[in-house]
């Protein structure tokens, strides 16, 4: 991301666009930059990608129910997924949240009791902590410590106004902080308050008040000095329905990053707090905090990114693609129906987790339901 830049203007907002050969030239209607599309075809000297089914029993047997919501730790050893497989004690109306050690195959679960539905698991880099949302009567944010086995509901001591539900949005790479929202069922108030939990002290810091609007996403740096968040939702229409902000809680300083770019969607803040990745106008942008520059680095919609912001998972009509923003090299990682969440890619882009109903990704896939897969890109 240290390539030469040129200056462009978008709706009055100054945007600095990368001019590096790998990322500068975009093909009209293409899902990635021209350099990326070329690099994708060049696999000389690299190991062929390998796809494994992640959502299996401990002995590797395929499951008898659908699995979705896959996530993986930054070190690539631990993964989480939601399943409805009766063989694991789950069913269509009793989803289970399972954790898997990808080195040993050992399978464990997070169980809050009868009647809970689970979703949106996110793992710290070492897999030691798992943040997730669980729903019984109302959705609630939780944090699980894999080492101790303890699970904690995340909720501030005295949130202002009426609040009855919440959701997890991010966990810092080192697992020391979790960004979550609380709100109520009235109109657009599901995520009216944004907090960050410091797992060392157990304290909750209010980052965004109700007056800013409903929160569509959040991401927090390892040391908690910066938090990126999204106000509103993301859509492909002409209305500007979502904006991305960066805040320094210690000073209260807050800046909008997508001015002049229309609707924006937060992808992540890097672990060191130095860059913010977000989608806008059919492309991926990177904002560098030190310089204040905002650069369009790829076409397409990013679904996930590594903690250092170098590797991103982009979605297109023909499937998912892993893109190295430094070299411009792209690799296909999932079929047209593949879905990836925020915690889908490991450090250095070595592996990507996704769900798919495709039956030809691994041998012996005959269960007839979607599974969670991991592609080892290198």
> Which of 374, 371, 362 has the alpha carbon at shortest distance from 76?
374
Burial of residue 194, with CB atoms counted within 10 A of its CB: 0-12 exposed, 13-18 middle, 19 or more buried: buried
pLDDT at res. 378? 66
Strands 371-376 and 50-53: antiparallel
Angstrom distance (rounded) from CA 185 to CA 175: 29
Report percent pLDDT > 70 for the chain. Answer: 87
User: Cβ(299)–Cβ(315) under 8 Å?
Assistant: no
pLDDT in tens, 148-179: 999 999 999 999 999 999 999 999 999 999 99
Q: What is the DSSP secondary-structure string of 120-135?
A: EEEE-TTSSEEEEEEE
Tell me which of 10-14, 74-78, 276-280 is least confident. 10-14
pLDDT in tens, 189-206: 889 999 999 999 999 999
pLDDT at res. 25? 33
Looking at the structure, give the CATH architecture of the domain made up of residues 66-291+343-361.
Answer: 7 Propeller (2.130)
Average pLDDT for 254-283: 96
User: Cβ(245)–Cβ(257) under 8 Å?
Assistant: yes
pLDDT at res. 188? 83
Report percent pLDDT > 90 for the chain. Answer: 80
The domain spans of the chain are: 66-291+343-361
For residue 259, count other CB atoms closer than 10 A to its CB.
16
pLDDT at res. 237? 64
Sequence-distant (≥ 6) Cβ neighbours of residue 72 within 8 angstroms: 78, 79, 80, 102, 123, 343, 344, 345, 346, 351, 353, 374
**More confident of the two residues 252 and 27:** 252
**Per-residue tokens: 313:** 């998972």
pLDDT at res. 76? 97
pLDDT in tens, 298-345: 999 999 999 999 999 999 999 999 999 999 999 999 999 999 999 999
- Please, which residues bridge with residue 289 across strands? none
Average pLDDT for 237-242: 76
Question: What rounded mean pLDDT belongs to the chain?
Answer: 88
pLDDT at res. 335? 96
């Amino acid at each position: 991301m240290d390539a030469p830049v040129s200056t462009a203007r978008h709706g009055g907002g100054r945007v600095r666009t990368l001019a590096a050969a790998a990322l500068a030239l975009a093909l009209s209607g293409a899902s990635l930059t021209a350099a990326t599309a070329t690099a994708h075809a060049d696999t000389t000297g690299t190991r062929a990608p390998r796809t494994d089914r992640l959502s299996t029993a401990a002995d590797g047997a395929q499951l008898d129910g659908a699995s979705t919501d896959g996530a993986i730790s930054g070190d690539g050893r631990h993964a989480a997924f939601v399943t409805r497989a009766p063989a694991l004690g789950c069913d269509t109306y009793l989803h289970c949240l399972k954790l898997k050690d990808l080195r040993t195959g050992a399978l464990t679960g997070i169980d809050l009791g009868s009647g809970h539905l689970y979703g949106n698991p996110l793992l710290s880099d070492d897999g030691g902590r798992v943040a997730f949302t669980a729903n019984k009567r109302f959705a609630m944010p939780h944090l699980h410590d894999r080492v101790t086995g303890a699970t904690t509901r995340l909720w501030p001591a005295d949130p202002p106004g009426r609040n009855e539900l919440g959701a997890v949005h991010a966990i810092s790479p080192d697992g020391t902080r979790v960004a979550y929202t609380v709100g109520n069922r009235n109109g657009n108030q599901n995520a009216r308050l944004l907090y960050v939990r410091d797992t060392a002290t157990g304290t909750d810091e209010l980052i965004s008040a109700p007056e800013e609007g409903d929160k569509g996403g959040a991401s927090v740096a390892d040391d908690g000095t910066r938090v990126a968040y999204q106000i509103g939702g993301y859509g492909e229409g002409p209305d500007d329905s979502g904006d991305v902000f960066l805040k320094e809680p210690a000073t209260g300083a807050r800046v909008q990053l997508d001015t002049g770019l229309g609707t924006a969607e937060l992808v992540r803040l890097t672990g060191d707090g130095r860059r913010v990745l977000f989608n806008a106008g059919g492309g991926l942008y990177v904002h560098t905090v030190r310089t204040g520059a905002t650069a369009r680095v790829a076409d397409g919609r990013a679904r996930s990114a590594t903690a250092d912001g170098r590797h991103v998972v982009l979605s297109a009509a023909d499937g998912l693609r892993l893109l190295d923003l430094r070299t411009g090299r792209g690799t296909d990682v999932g079929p047209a129906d593949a879905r990836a969440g925020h915690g889908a890619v490991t450090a250095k882009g070595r592996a990507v987790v996704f769900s798919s109903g495709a039956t030809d990704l691994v041998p012996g896939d005959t269960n007839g339901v979607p599974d969670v897969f991991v592609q080892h890109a290198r």
